[in-house]
């Protein structure tokens, strides 16, 4: 009961700060974020919202996203929805306006303002048709991440038990639990694709289900018999998108009186035939090439590839281009059981952690920025790196570059071992940092895989720290930043809020479901 009250209290604290129930158009959540559709974002009291102890930061995107962290967000969301419904029932016409903003903390708030400006600039740059398409693709795969994580951890546990020879009567059951979702992932991709592109979700799932049906082995296309699952998630994505186009065409031309019979039939028939006699073969070829390319890249140039991927991942996130990697990760997991790219990309977060620690020591007089770092550092270790990026390193400028250097060094370390023949992969996407340990898998045993990944994190931490400590600040920057805040005495009546360490927490966007993210 105490925990339930805690999550309800969090929801109750958030609701008035986003403008009340009347300002809430939609409520959803992903792995770490409460995603709100708001009628008027000017009603949001952002500074007070960020000051809440349970809020790690906010992200302004197509929805207003409040970062609460894994586990917490899944418990706060239903409480938030209940409170919205209750408030609407009590006063459906009212939307409680926000109150006065909290007083600003001198230096950390200045950095936060710069971070907000960078968020706005990034959002404007990302509003291109190509990047909007990538965002829609991400929206298809992000809801699958919890199942990927759960099944991935069970797969790892099962592999450990099999290797140790323990519980032989249980391991087949664990294998079934771990593999069942992956065997049918195409259906879920099809369902989400149709939903994202404005079609009937169940029809998208029905067409995608053709791909995993065992009977496709009797169908011949391009001179060869198809294999169940051929084309995987890419085939499902294409098949469901085609189904949406066929369905929309039918809605325009089929008379309403027979629509319920004709539209679903034509949708499944036309898109199903195209899937069987075209898409499955083509998507299968593309999927195979993706797997071969990833393995070739790391086996022939692992250290160099890791250096580039680890160093450039955060800039890719800022440009919105990281979303193109989500189907690639999923394809690799579907083919090999794990993606070898994610552990390398996760090193970018390690570089940010090392850089933040260096900033903490270099700016030893700046209590405001140090509070920000202390509040955001542990989430950073667990792979939630946005508060450090947008609250510390990116607004400062040079520390962001040196943090990327740490990520590059960590990526090169992991990539080198891939090049030497030790694959280090993840059975799911989404987590990074320490949170990725339960999902690690590879071809040389769990112990060696964990050791390589841990070594990469250490290299990333040390690399980010040293690069930032020695090259992250000019003398002018140190003179301006390494000073105590102008006033340490907050004015009444907001003293409690102003002196709370939580007020220093800042954050901005990075996508759910990939490593920080």
Which residues participate in catalysis according to the annotation?
Answer: 30
Report residue 370 as tokens: 């140090």
Distance between CA atoms of residues 18 and 79, nearest Å: 15
Integer Cα distance of 236 and 233 in angstroms:
5
CB 339 within 8 A of CB 429: yes
- 485 burial (CB, 10 Å; 0-12 / 13-18 / 19+) is middle
421 exposure class (CB count in 10 Å sphere: 0-12, 13-18, 19+):
exposed
Cis peptide before 292 (omega within 30 of 0): no
Rounded to the nearest 10°, the torsion over CA 42, 48, 51, 56 is -20
* Cα–Cα dist 332/311, whole Å: 22
- Indicate the Cα dihedral angle 430, 432, 437, 438, nearest 10°: -20
The DSSP secondary-structure symbol of 222 reads: T
- CA separation for the pair 369, 379 (Å, rounded): 16
């Amino acid at each position: 009961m105490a925990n339930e009250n805690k999550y309800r209290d969090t929801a109750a604290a958030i609701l008035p700060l986003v403008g009340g129930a009347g300002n809430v158009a939609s409520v959803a959540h992903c792995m770490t974020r409460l995603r709100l559709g708001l009628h008027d974002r000017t009603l949001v009291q952002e500074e007070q919202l960020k000051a809440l102890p349970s809020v790690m930061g906010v992200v302004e995107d197509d929805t207003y996203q409040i970062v609460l962290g894994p586990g917490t967000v899944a418990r706060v969301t239903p409480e938030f929805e209940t409170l919205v419904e209750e408030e609407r029932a009590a006063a459906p016409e009212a939307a409680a306006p926000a109150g006065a903003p909290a007083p600003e903390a001198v230096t950390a708030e200045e950095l936060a303002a710069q971070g907000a400006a960078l968020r706005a600039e990034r959002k404007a740059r990302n509003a291109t048709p190509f990047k909007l398409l990538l965002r829609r693709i991400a929206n298809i795969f992000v809801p699958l991440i919890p199942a990927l994580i759960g099944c991935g951890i069970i797969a790892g546990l099962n592999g450990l038990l099999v290797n140790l020879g323990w519980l032989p009567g249980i391991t087949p059951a664990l294998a079934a639990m771990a593999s069942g979702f992956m065997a049918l992932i195409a259906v879920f991709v099809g369902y989400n694709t149709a939903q994202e592109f404005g079609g009937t979700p169940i029809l998208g799932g029905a067409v995608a289900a053709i791909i995993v049906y065992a009977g496709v082995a009797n169908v011949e296309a391009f001179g060869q018999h198809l294999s169940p699952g051929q084309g995987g998630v890419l085939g499902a994505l294409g098949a469901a998108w085609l189904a949406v186009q066929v369905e929309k065409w039918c809605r325009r031309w089929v008379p309403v009186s027979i629509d319920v019979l004709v539209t679903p039939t034509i949708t499944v028939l036309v898109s199903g035939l195209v899937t069987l006699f075209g898409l499955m073969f083509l998507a299968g070829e593309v999927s195979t090439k993706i797997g071969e390319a990833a393995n070739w890249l790391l086996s022939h140039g692992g250290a160099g590839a890791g250096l580039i991927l680890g160093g450039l991942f955060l800039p890719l996130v800022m440009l919105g281009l990281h979303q193109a990697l989500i189907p690639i990760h999923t394809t690799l997991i579907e083919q090999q059981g794990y993606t070898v790219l994610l552990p390398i990309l996760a090193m970018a977060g390690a570089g940010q952690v090392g850089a933040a620690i260096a900033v903490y020591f270099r700016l030893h007089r700046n209590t405001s920025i140090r509070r920000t770092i202390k509040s955001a550092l542990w989430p950073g270790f667990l792979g939630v790196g946005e508060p450090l990026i947008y609250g510390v390193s990116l607004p400062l400028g040079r520390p962001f570059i040196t943090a990327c250097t740490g990520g590059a060094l960590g990526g090169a370390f992991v990539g080198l071992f891939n090049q030497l023949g030790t694959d280090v992969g993840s059975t799911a996407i989404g987590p990074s940092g320490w949170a990725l340990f339960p999902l690690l898998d590879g071809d040389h045993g769990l112990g060696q895989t964990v050791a390589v990944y841990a070594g990469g994190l250490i290299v990333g931490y040390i690399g980010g720290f040293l690069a930032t400590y020695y090259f992250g600040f000019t003398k002018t920057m140190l003179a301006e930043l390494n000073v105590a805040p102008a006033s340490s005495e907050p004015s009444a009546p907001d003293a409690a809020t102003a002196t709370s360490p939580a007020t220093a927490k800042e954050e901005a966007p990075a996508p759910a479901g990939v490593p920080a993210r």
